[in-house]
Amino acid sequence: MNTYTNIQTYHTPRMYRLVGKYEGKIVKFCAAYSQSTSILDILLTNRSEVMHMRGCSLFLSLLLLLTPLALGEQAEGVWMLAVSAGKADCILLGVEGWTCMIDTGHARSMGKVKALMDLMGVDHLDAVFVTHTDSDHIGGLDWLADSDIPIGAWYASAMYTDIKSEKKHPMVKAAKKRGESVTFLRAGDSVTLPNATLTVLAPIQLNENDEDDNSLVMMLDTAQGSMLLTGDMEGVEEAQLLSSGQYLKCDVLKVPNHADDDACSESFVDAVQPKLAVICTDTAEKPETPDPRVLASLATAGAETYVTQEATGGILVRLEGGVPSARALELEAPQAQVQITDVIPGDDLIELHNPGEALALDGWYLWSSRGGELFPFPEGTVIGTGASLTVGTNTTKEGSYDLLWDDKKVVHRSKEDVLWLYAPNGMPVSSLSNGL
């Protein structure tokens, strides 16, 4: 057991209501043993004291909930958390308490990102970066902008071709929701962090044929080592980067473009010589990834390689003294039995049924695979035992639904569209196709 795994199990409404009563005792207890690196160490070392505390089971549960925050060790140092977001990029990066998000994945990963931020003790983002405008990198921008997560700055690649004007750039529209603006970056720019620097190595030239080759490529240099973050860079941008003569060797590599066969050449790997590499992909979504050639090149270079699909939560990388280490973070599988039982394209209706115990749907949400639309259930929504719940949209006949999804034509009428139901921690619970 480690400090990070399955903490979500204890995040229940009843626990939070009781935190105020017990928090002081738990924080004091944790502070006394702040040199411990795991909850298990604390409990075993002091089992006699803990077992005689009043309300032992409640105390232990609250200890498991609060220890990560009390010890304050998750967000310290230099770390990268690559979220298990399918064939998509969403990365949390931390340097001495400064935290940013690099790409936002799909909207469906909202709950997972929030759960992992909580797990790491991150309650704000000093910056959000978008490497390029592909949907699997910007899909979470809307929910992020609409959230109550404080965001210090917005950054994007200065080079793009699939957006007609700057004001229509997805990140510009997201930042505008908060009355904020976007800083556009290109090779030679840098962002200063606490005792570290993020240097933009690319894009060097505009690529009008492939948006992937306009990706932000950034080198994080810290006292503990370096990380190279590459977006979806493919062969053209890679060749420009190699020809630029910039220093590319790093300790940790975020492998470009989901380790597809059009990226991460042997020449690039030779120049980078990473000790550890992380690939953001899901073979079920894109069977060609990770490409065997890319894996072989990384292995030849001596890199320890991790793929986000190997974990339900993500891959957490820590860097200390030039030595990287990584481990998988797992999220708890939902136990609820609620299911999507009907998806009706013409009427734009989604029906849910709950054969199990009554369930509060706070934090739950629906997601459409075709359009990427997201519907968070309104706070206070409960689906009773044996009850059904119907969600309609602005296209649906008024009065034929229980909850309004304030959008129109969500369920596609002529192409396959799969509706997904997600638990608050972003884990899937049910899915159903529109039958097309």
Residue 289 in any domain: the answer is yes
Q: Which helix (H) or strand (E) holds 32?
A: helix 13-32
Tell me the per-residue pLDDT of 288-324, one tens digit each, with 9 for 90 and over: 999 999 999 999 999 999 999 999 999 999 999 999 9
Residue 321 in any domain: the answer is yes
The pLDDT assigned to 132 comes to 97
386: domain CATH number? Answer: 2.60.40.1260
The model carries a pTM of: 0.83
- What does the DSSP assignment read for 194-235? TTEEEEEEE--S--SS-GGGG--EEEEEETTEEEEE-TT--H
Cα–Cα dist 109/367, whole Å: 10
Q: Is the domain of 319 the same as that of 352?
A: no
Q: Is the dihedral of CA 382, 387, 392, 398 positive or negative?
A: negative
Q: Which helix (H) or strand (E) holds 94?
A: strand 90-95
Q: Is the domain of 50 the same as that of 123?
A: no
Tell me the per-residue pLDDT of 266-282, one tens digit each, with 9 for 90 and over: 999 999 999 999 999 99
Q: Is the domain of 205 the same as that of 59?
A: no
Q: Is the domain of 151 the same as that of 19?
A: no
The 8-class DSSP code of residue 10 comes to G
Total domain count, the chain: 3
Domain membership of residue 40 as a residue range:
7-71
Q: Which of residues 67 and 422 earns the better pLDDT score?
A: 422
User: Could you tell me which of 204, 237, 223, 260 has the C-alpha nearest to residue 95?
Assistant: 223
User: Could you tell me which of 408, 350, 397, 357 has the C-alpha nearest to residue 377?
Assistant: 350
Long-range contacts of 181-188 (CB under 8 A, 24+ apart): 181/154, 182/154, 182/155, 182/156, 183/153, 183/154, 183/155, 183/156, 184/155, 184/156, 184/157, 184/158, 185/155, 185/156, 185/157, 185/158, 185/216, 186/157, 186/158, 186/159, 187/244
Q: Is the domain of 67 the same as that of 135?
A: no
Percent of the chain with pLDDT over 70: 83
Interacting residues of 399 by C-beta distance below 8 A, sequence separation 6+: none
In the chain, what are the helix, strand and coil shares in percent, each to the nearest 5? 30, 30, 45
Tell me the per-residue pLDDT of 142-154, one tens digit each, with 9 for 90 and over: 999 999 999 999 9
Q: Is the domain of 355 the same as that of 301?
A: no
User: Could you tell me which of 325, 317, 263 has the C-alpha nearest to residue 295?
Assistant: 263
Residue 98 in any domain: the answer is yes
The pLDDT assigned to 16 comes to 34
Last residue of a domain, one of 71, 86, 117: 71
Q: Is the domain of 260 the same as that of 200?
A: yes
φ/ψ of 226, rounded to 5, equals -130, 155
